[in-house]
């Protein structure tokens, strides 16, 4: 069996402290859309908002040196039923494979989720390798932090929510507790075993939601909402 390319990335939720980050590996033959679903899974995004992936590269100075600035190469969208998103100048994320992007360190992709709350995850390539089997992919190697909370108002709302649960008092805490239906929320929580379990399930569910416009089944919703016990 011919060896297949594996890409290793470092992902970080933009503009949030403390850092919520992941180091993970994916097969090079997946689509750009699939990478988006993988990042969504790792950051607790529940496929209820629009998604786009941007491909960037370091900006070169006149002398040819790499700058800290980046320039946009292309934006990839998941077309709606009428293909209207393609009219905005993007490419089809469901038909473009990572291997077609000619990625090499320090290539960068941005996963942009929920254009209102404006969640952005920076995904930087670290290295590539060739392996004979891809059965264990995608997989998280390490990371820190929980992820986002849907519809909380973006990174600033997440900061407010995390602080309220840290203090566990005041009107803000009472409101967030009633909204989430829990007395406890730890923004620093990270369960790598559960994350890798979810990576085997959720990207395929998200593909059906975005690409087939299929409403998730009760079993799929239970997985998304963690109404399960791992065997």
Q: Check whether residue 74 and residue 119 sit in a common domain.
A: yes
CB 24, CB 8: distance < 8 Å: yes
Model pLDDT, residue 107: 87
Model pLDDT, residue 69: 59
Domain assignment present for residue 24? The answer is yes
Q: Check whether residue 155 and residue 113 sit in a common domain.
A: no
Model pLDDT, residue 231: 54
Q: Check whether residue 155 and residue 43 sit in a common domain.
A: no
Domain assignment present for residue 214? The answer is yes
Domain assignment present for residue 229? The answer is no
Given a cut of 50, the residues of the chain with pLDDT beneath it are none
Q: Check whether residue 84 and residue 137 sit in a common domain.
A: yes
Q: Which region holds residue 89: left if phi is over 0, alpha if psi is between -120 and 50, else beta? A: left
Residue whose token pair is 């939601």 = 209
Rounded to two decimals, what is the model's pTM?
A: 0.90
Q: Check whether residue 92 and residue 159 sit in a common domain.
A: no
Q: Check whether residue 143 and residue 154 sit in a common domain.
A: no
Q: Check whether residue 85 and residue 139 sit in a common domain.
A: yes
Rg (CA), the chain: 18
Model pLDDT, residue 118: 97
Q: Check whether residue 8 and residue 47 sit in a common domain.
A: yes
Model pLDDT, residue 84: 55
Q: Check whether residue 181 and residue 195 sit in a common domain.
A: no
Q: Check whether residue 68 and residue 172 sit in a common domain.
A: no
Model pLDDT, residue 132: 64
Domain assignment present for residue 132? The answer is yes
CB 113, CB 119: distance < 8 Å: yes
Which domain, by its residues, includes 60? Answer: 4-147+187-224
Model pLDDT, residue 20: 98
CB 77, CB 90: distance < 8 Å: yes
Q: Check whether residue 65 and residue 155 sit in a common domain.
A: no
Beta-sheet strands, E only, within 61-146:
66-77, 91-92, 108-113, 119-131, 139-144
Which tens digit of pLDDT belongs to each residue from 111-151? 999 999 999 999 999 998 877 666 789 999 999 999 999 99
Domain assignment present for residue 81? The answer is yes
Domain assignment present for residue 54? The answer is yes
CA 92 to each of CA 51, 110, 126, 181: distance values in angstroms, whole numbers, following the listed order: 12, 15, 25, 38
Model pLDDT, residue 18: 93
Domain assignment present for residue 230? The answer is no
Quote the number of domains for the chain.
2
Q: Check whether residue 32 and residue 143 sit in a common domain.
A: yes
Model pLDDT, residue 85: 55
Domain assignment present for residue 231? The answer is no
Residues 6+ away with beta carbon under 8 Å from 198? 41, 223
H helix intervals, the chain: 32-42, 154-167, 170-180, 192-199, 202-211, 218-224
Domain containing residue 13: CATH number: 3.10.290.30
């Amino acid at each position: 069996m011919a060896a297949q390319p594996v890409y290793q990335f470092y992902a970080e939720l933009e503009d949030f402290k403390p850092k919520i980050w992941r180091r993970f590996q994916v097969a090079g033959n997946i689509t750009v859309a699939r990478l988006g679903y993988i990042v969504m899974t790792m950051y607790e995004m529940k496929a209820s908002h629009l998604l786009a992936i941007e491909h960037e590269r370091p900006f070169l100075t006149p002398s040819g040196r790499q700058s800290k600035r980046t320039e946009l190469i292309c934006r990839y969208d998941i077309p709606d039923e009428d293909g209207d998103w393609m009219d905005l100048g993007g490419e089809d994320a469901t038909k473009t494979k990572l291997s077609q992007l000619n990625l090499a360190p320090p290539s960068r992709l941005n996963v942009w989720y929920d254009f209102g709350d404006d969640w952005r995850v920076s995904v930087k390539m670290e290295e590539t390798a060739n392996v004979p089997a891809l059965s264990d992919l995608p997989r998280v190697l390490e990371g820190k932090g929980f992820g986002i909370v849907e519809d909380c108002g973006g990174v600033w709302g997440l900061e407010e929510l995390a602080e309220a649960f840290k203090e566990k008092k005041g009107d803000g805490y009472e409101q967030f507790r009633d909204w989430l239906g829990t007395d406890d929320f730890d923004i620093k929580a990270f369960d790598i075993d559960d994350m890798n379990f979810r990576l085997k399930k959720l990207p395929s569910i998200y593909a059906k939601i975005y690409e087939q416009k299929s409403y998730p089944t009760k079993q799929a919703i239970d997985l998304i909402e963690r109404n399960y016990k791992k065997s």
